[in-house]
Amino acid sequence: MRALLLCGLLTLSACSAGSVSPVTISQAIAGVQADLTKTGVVSVSGVQHWTADQAARFDANVRALQCAQNTSDPVVAMIAGPVTMDLSGSFSQSGSFSVSTSSFTPVFGLQADASRTKGQTLSLPVQFVPLSALADAEAGREVGYAGALLGQNDVVRERVAARIEGDRTALAAHVEVLASDLTRCLEMKGRPFVGVKKE
């Protein structure tokens, strides 16, 4: 009888042993950051304070797009707003176990229920703009972030507006220099293989 009871308890506990461990918030955020890094996302914010490395990454990204699209003013993808993530999940389990005996044979019963639900939503607003319009699109994004600060009538509004306009002007000038020189792509342009007939 005890052996049967022990066997039943072990069987019931095995039902929950295969449950998947939940994904933590830090794992989910790290996964999104890793995906954005693999994609080669390059920041266009705060151009007035870029380091040499940030400027070089931006320039390399622009050159790659120019060469791929064979134009000095390629269409670029831009994250146009906040990246938001909605994670949800639940796991519930229940079970029952009973052993009873009658005068003739032991009766054994086991019941287990398990349900698992998980969901994930990622919102990534992407805007496609020509390179020549990137500075204006970025300024529009910054105005959206500044929101109520620009509605005030004080020094804060003036500083925020001046920063946004300064960044827009600097980015437009930087892009103009890149768009004016497409010679690197022409020098690096691949040539098709051509077969030569031997006589």
- Tens of pLDDT, residue by residue over 32-64, are 778 877 776 777 888 888 899 988 888 888 888
Please state, in angstroms and rounded to a whole number, the distance separating the CA atoms of residues 138 and 99: 70
Q: Which residues contact 143 (CB under 8 A, 6 or more apart)?
A: 150, 164
In 3-state terms, what secondary structure has residue 72? coil
Please state, in angstroms and rounded to a whole number, the distance separating the CA atoms of residues 153 and 150: 8
pLDDT at 83 over 70: yes
Chain center to CA of 36: 5
pLDDT tens-digit map of 4-43: 445 555 555 554 444 556 667 778 778 877 887 777 677 7
* pLDDT score, position 92: 65
Q: Which of 76, 83, 75, 77 is nearest to 125 (CA)?
A: 83
φ and ψ of 135, to 5 deg:
-65, -40
pLDDT tens-digit map of 119-162: 777 777 888 899 999 999 999 888 888 888 888 888 888 888 89
Q: Which residues contact 168 (CB under 8 A, 6 or more apart)?
A: 135, 136, 138, 139
Domain boundaries, the chain: 23-81+128-188
pTM, to two decimals: 0.62
